[in-house]
């Protein structure tokens, strides 16, 4: 019964925002984001704690402003997600463009597969959808949602134009197979992990347990690795899908040493983008929850 009610609520929200004009849907969803700021104080506290860790030199009012804009941006992403089934290539090009597409195309031409290093930054749901809409379908590594019916609804939208879903519970085999077929896979690698799936690498000057699967598969398969983020550019009033140059993958140490080295390199690129667009990263996630043995917890246990 609970699963059915959750699905019904999500279905109503998705279809209600889909029926509205895009501009109106974004304003309504931004208001929902503002309401969430007040309604879920625990997440707000996590966000402020993370911003203190990442930007200790900032005054509190600057951190608060960044976090409030994050909630607005999350509302915008909700609206875009609900609107995505209506988007055509021509319509979406009015408010989305590429920057660095040549980096992606060159990496794909090598034929060994492409892994996109990305994270919960900007409009990550719209990113892969737009790329598939433009003729470049890809796979996404995601965690199954607890509600199977909601999971099916969400994945149905994600995959409208040829995208595929790789679930984390079959991560390594699916990713290696995709690389051998020369496919493209996007991997969100900015969430807290636990050993042995995660290794500790610096993130904003503090060790963060980070998924190392991408680094291990890149070393094994020879796949190209490059960053990709769909970011809101305020001056243009557009989203821009940024593809950076292909990244160097270390292969001259032990498997474990190279996994740590490459995971650190990929994480450093994510940090660089977050520093440039701080109000578009998911600060409400407990990114530094897992600590090295003997180190005190970072977050309040409440």
SS3 call for 192: coil
Are 107 and 246 contacting, i.e. CB atoms less than 8 angstroms apart? yes
Are 3 and 146 contacting, i.e. CB atoms less than 8 angstroms apart? no
Report d(CA 265, CA 247) in Å as an integer.
Answer: 8
What does the longest C-alpha to C-alpha distance in the chain come to? 55
- Paired tokens of 233: 């550019």
Report d(CA 285, CA 274) in Å as an integer.
Answer: 14
Strand partners, 206: 203
The confidence score (pLDDT) of residue 3 equals 86
Report d(CA 22, CA 26) in Å as an integer.
Answer: 6
The confidence score (pLDDT) of residue 66 equals 98
139 CB-near residues (< 8 Å, 6+ apart) = 163, 164, 165, 166, 174, 178, 183, 184, 185, 186
The Cα-based distances of 88 to 93, 160, 184, 217, 262 in angstroms read 9, 11, 22, 34, 37
The confidence score (pLDDT) of residue 36 equals 96
The Cα-based distances of 233 to 164, 279, 283 in angstroms read 28, 12, 19
Q: How many CB atoms lie within 10 A of CB 248?
A: 10
Would you call the peptide bond into 196 cis, given omega within 30 degrees of 0 as the criterion? yes
Low-confidence spans in the chain with pLDDT less than 50: none
Q: How far from the centroid of its chain's Cα atoms is residue 87's Cα?
A: 21
127, 124, 126, 139: which is closest to 101 by C-alpha? 127
The confidence score (pLDDT) of residue 184 equals 97
CB burial of residue 172 (10 Å; 0-12, 13-18, 19+) = middle
Q: How many CB atoms lie within 10 A of CB 58?
A: 15
pLDDT digits (tens, 9 = 90+) for 164-189: 999 877 777 889 999 999 999 999 99
Q: Residue 81: in which H helix or E strand, if any?
A: helix 60-83
The Cα-based distances of 55 to 45, 58, 270 in angstroms read 15, 6, 16
The confidence score (pLDDT) of residue 122 equals 98
End-to-end CA, the chain: 29
């Amino acid at each position: 019964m609970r699963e059915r009610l959750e699905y019904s609520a999500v279905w109503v929200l998705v279809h209600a925002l889909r029926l509205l004009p895009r501009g109106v849907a974004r304003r309504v969803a931004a208001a929902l984001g503002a309401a969430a700021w007040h309604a879920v104080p625990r997440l707000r506290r996590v966000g402020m704690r993370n911003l203190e860790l990442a930007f200790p030199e900032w005054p509190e009012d600057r951190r608060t402003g960044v976090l409030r804009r994050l909630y607005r941006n999350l509302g915008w992403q909700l609206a875009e997600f609900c609107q995505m089934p209506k988007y055509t290539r021509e319509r979406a090009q009015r408010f989305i463009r590429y920057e660095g597409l040549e980096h992606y195309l060159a990496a794909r031409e090598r034929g060994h597969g492409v892994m996109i290093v990305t994270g919960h930054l900007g409009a990550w749901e719209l990113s892969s959808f737009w790329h598939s809409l433009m003729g470049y379908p890809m796979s996404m590594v995601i965690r199954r949602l607890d509600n199977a019916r909601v999971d099916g609804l969400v994945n149905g939208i994600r995959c409208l134009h040829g995208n595929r879903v790789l679930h984390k519970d079959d991560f390594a085999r699916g990713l290696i197979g995709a690389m051998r077929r020369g496919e493209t896979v996007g991997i969100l690698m900015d969430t807290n992990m636990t050993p042995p799936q995660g290794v500790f690498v610096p993130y904003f000057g503090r060790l963060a347990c980070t998924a190392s699967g991408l680094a291990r598969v890149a070393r094994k398969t020879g796949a190209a690795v490059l960053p990709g983020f769909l970011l809101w550019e305020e001056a243009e009033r557009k989203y821009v899908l940024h593809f950076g140059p292909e990244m160097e993958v270390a292969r001259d140490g032990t498997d474990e040493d190279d996994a740590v080295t490459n995971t650190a390199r990929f994480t450093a690129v994510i940090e660089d983008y977050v520093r440039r667009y701080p109000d578009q990263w998911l600060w409400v996630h407990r990114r530094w929850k897992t600590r090295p043995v003997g180190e005190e917890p970072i977050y309040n246990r409440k």
